[in-house]
Amino acid sequence: MFEYSTQGTCSTKIRFAIEGGKLHDVSFEGGCDGNLQALSRLVEGMEASAVVGRLEGIDCGGKGTSCADQLAKALRRALASRGGTP
């Protein structure tokens, strides 16, 4: 299980697992509960690298980032720590 402290978003932490290159059990601490539950369900079982490609760079309200973008950053870090690349 990976844990990532977010920056610049309403959510404060993201937790997830990567098994066989696929994303599982994504959860957010804080943030817009309904939207983040939906995001978590949508990415469940997807290739982690594909999630990075789809979510990276999404901006929320001019903040320069978003919860989705922070998930992409967290996945990049997790994949790099395992010797993989997105």
Query: Does 14 map to a domain?
Result: yes
Query: Does 42 map to a domain?
Result: yes
* Contact indicator for 70, 14 with CB cutoff of 8 Å: yes
Q: How many domains does the chain fold into?
A: 1
Residue 71's domain comprises 2-81
* Segment 38-66 mean pLDDT: 97
**What pLDDT, on the 0 to 100 scale, is given for residue 82?**
83
Query: Does 75 map to a domain?
Result: yes
Rounded to 5°, angle at Cα 19 from 56 and 36: 45
* Contact indicator for 68, 36 with CB cutoff of 8 Å: no
| Backbone phi and psi for residue 9, each to the nearest 5 degrees, phi listed first | -130, 165
* Segment 43-64 mean pLDDT: 97
